[in-house]
Structure 1
């Protein structure tokens, strides 16, 4: 390719050239063809520049352009990196082929227009950087999002921009050049990394809240890599948590459980079956916490066990709750047993209902008096052995007590096991819980 520039005027000492030199330096630019500075086989944008009506722009025709602008344009047009140049007080806008996708529909009308007209929406944002560059100081932006058309479709991309002043030989600034670097891949990596970090933090928070620790044992090198939760759970130092031997972890297990844990690990290494065990580990205060552990051996290409990753869950609270529930159940059973002994020792018939009035307990005297099979009078079956003339009143009185919480008391005839009806006095009182609500009714007859 042939490059033709408008060359800077050399210095001649011969007097016959002095007038010519003066005319060149101080007079109007020579009248040369408009395409003097452009290549004979230009790129797409350069071809547009060669045909552009520059005489209608503040820059004037290319033959009048200053050498610093010509050199900057040549560098821009030859670059495979997206670039643009803003020149002069009119902020005339130049750009290269690589910048076209960023312009999108603004191309080709953007060529030769004022920078602020090309990017009217963005100009208020970039104006301070423009002013900084025009004052002789570099400026720029990092990771700016753009929607551009690429490969026939619109896509989101990110770019960084660097504004660098363009100076004359005397140091004065006439414009600035912008180098555009696409950061889409880096931005995507940052977003992926940020998402990964966020997921990791959320996982750590969830594991910590659930008191779950994670480990991975390199079997061949005998190095265990544990997270902070597992280190706290086992009381392991940071050093041992980052590649310490398995023995450091086994040492924290209760002596009565250690042999069983080792046996289960060996079985998993030999058979490949999942490792699963429950055991106690020593706390810092000398006590023990309950742990449930799960893991799965990973084998190498040679069939030998290489890794044993797994988790350990602190189930101390669950174990304590189970123990407390067992104690409560035992206490309740003992209480019920005492109650039954006392109730069966009483000469009267004793009965009890739920809060809703459902009869679910009668003592031995009830069944001895009525001759009814155990359980046959549960629910509302009791009403069937009341005298038919007394049933409506008994029901009305019982419903009133259930609704109001008032004590229940009524005389009625109850069928004896001999088939005869005998007068009895039925009484019941509500049993209230700590919040004052009725939890049961206890009655006699």
Structure 2
């Protein structure tokens, strides 16, 4: 969560609190050939961990460059060159020993080892040259494939000893005395028979003998003849060459212990240079040898544990993990059986659930009693100690040994697993023959037992955690607060939708440390430091800081996070929330400011307080946390009629209106919790029984609640009267607009109906009189009917129920085609500019409706610029809306084409913009507008799947922008020539016509019958459905959408298709009834024909549907 320093993370590599461990963790290894520490190979990490645990000065030279890593003891040897040596190449770190170290790297990376005793070098450890002597042991470090990848050195400085030896060499006698006191063993032999002349005490001690001088080596150590020491002495005496041996085994007769020594056989020469004797010097290195051996065993153990971890890492089943573990442990240790068991609740019974057995050994799976294996087994395992038996017959009573022997066990290590003070499980290794168990085997079994069960417990905890996390995320999606989660490293990895909505950031901008982009810069150090502290300690996190909202405002939040831990206390995950406390903070700050101001005024107005209390018109009071008035000023009696004595003896809630009791309780509780309450309103009962509105301010101070209330009843009454007046005014305005609309519609329809009626009357008269010339009256009647149809379409557009005829359209072409019409319409006083976007996407719309909408917008723009004129800019553009941009526009995300009309007129106020699309709303004078234009445009665009948005500022003009969905099909020709349709005759097909209008039902039936179809009719949905469910042949259903009888046309069609799935349906309707035909979308085999229609149009549509 933060790059700031934090307390020690016990899970970081390398672990430990030593100085060099901390330096290694903080060092930037990416600048070396080793690369970042997270990518180090296991071999490097294992060797580093082992080295850091050693108290012996050790340094590791990694890679061909010999990058230096060392422990605390070596840092002391390095002097002032520490810590700059860490991470440097050995050649650069010790330039004065470059040639020496080149040889070391060459031999070590070739797989060889080097050992130097009292190696002399000149080093500049502290800024000046120093002659130093060292015992140096170099060994190769192997990677997982066995290839040498580095060199590890044990550095023992011997400078002081060497200098002491040199000083002692000045005098023979002093040298001999010094030899006697030396910790190392020394002896002097003479002649080819190697007769002892001198031995020091150390030699006596290590040899476990006392009689040396004058005796031959062969006689003193007759039991060492097989160990080649005699042959080495003979070799040195004969060749004159010294022999140095390291880690030589010394096994003395009669001693059970094996010792290890480093020694030197050095020839002694006489004055003539002839070998006359041999000097023996050396050290017992048993402890060091065993430490090295233990180190090798530990490394091997770590490699095995690493292999075991890799083998079981992907397994999610406990038995599978333990089966793999027992097999690998048994094979690695070469035992007869490796098994695991679960203990019963009674701590005696146990079940061996699985085991591995070597060839020749039998499986021991089954149930057993611990007591049957003897008192020692019960005592050791019950106390949490491993049961270690090397020879059951020799160590146990016969009956106890018999239990082991019965299942083929002579030697065993049984490792207990203790959880919450109880023996929970066992893991054991067994051998058929007696066996001396090593400490390494014991340590390995202990480590494997803990790791295996920890792995199983972790898997169980992780599974439970995943379930809990899913439940948490479901809850978090529903909660209003910010919610987030983090793994143990503190890098946030999940947020609920409220965080994205608040911040305006995507997931990639928040995960990890990205969340800090939301935090106020002044708050980051404190928030990060507290988060780092929580991560290291595992304690809950709580911090207040400011978070930036998407609009740039910083708001105060309180962040809280709690760790989810395993049964072993390991942090598995963090779950956190952020709660907005900005308003509370502001209230507290306001209260603090008020308190400060009050404190200042207290000093200034102490004398005036009593007067203010008495004469203030505000209702002042002091209340107890129990809800009793402690004191009230006289204004209470004036406002409510109650006496002071009555007020102070009555709980405040007894005065509150029943509908306001809960809200009053909530407000009072907030004050008791320490939060001020500002402008809270409720109703109090007057002594006369009426209710008075009070507006409250209440603040807690020193355990009491100080209140100020004001009688706002007159204001409330005035607000109520004003709201009623405004509603009445809006209703009157709406009715006035409806009146204008209906009056205009009635006028237009009366004109059209007069033309139709007059034409029909003249046709009737001419037909009756037998006069010719009826054709022009027929034409006049048709023309009037078509104009009436156009009028109804405009009304349907207003009602947003028109049937659209969408076609793939090039918007640039449509605008270009209307440019001349628009210029003529707006007049010469308005400049028109058209800007069509290149590569504009196609759209699918009703072209005529879009043309009407564009013309209407231009006319509105012209009127907004009257009488001075101005300019109109018509612009098209491609728009890609992501989730946030689409949400702001109330659209689905996707691709859209925009059509914008911008004017330089008077602009709109925010209130006008809010109501611009309301039916009947207009800012024009009476008689100059009905308030339907924008409403009709809005209805058409929304029905086309788009949206309309207004951008306007008073005095600076307006932009009306239409968003229409992109269409991926080819653009259809807008002005293709259409041949006059030819109606083909029917072929005897049967058509069912359902319409509640008898005249129209008759006309449709006659037209279809004359064309050659068989026609059946029905006046309503139920009657038609009864026919459809009969055995009658019906090839096509023609139905009105709006029908009586409880079923509309779509419902009839859907019910018909249950019995006749392929039924073709033609809807005829005066408007597109969305609920009836599926929100304007028809299923295959369904089409719609809008009333009124030509007879020819009906015949063509019927023929087309029947031939499909």
With the length of structure 2 as denominator, give the TM-score of the two structures. Answer: 0.14
Greater Rg over alpha carbons, structure: 2
With the length of structure 1 as denominator, give the TM-score of the two structures. Answer: 0.34
Q: Which is richer in helix?
A: 2
**Higher RCO (CA 8 Å, separation ≥ 6 residues):** 1
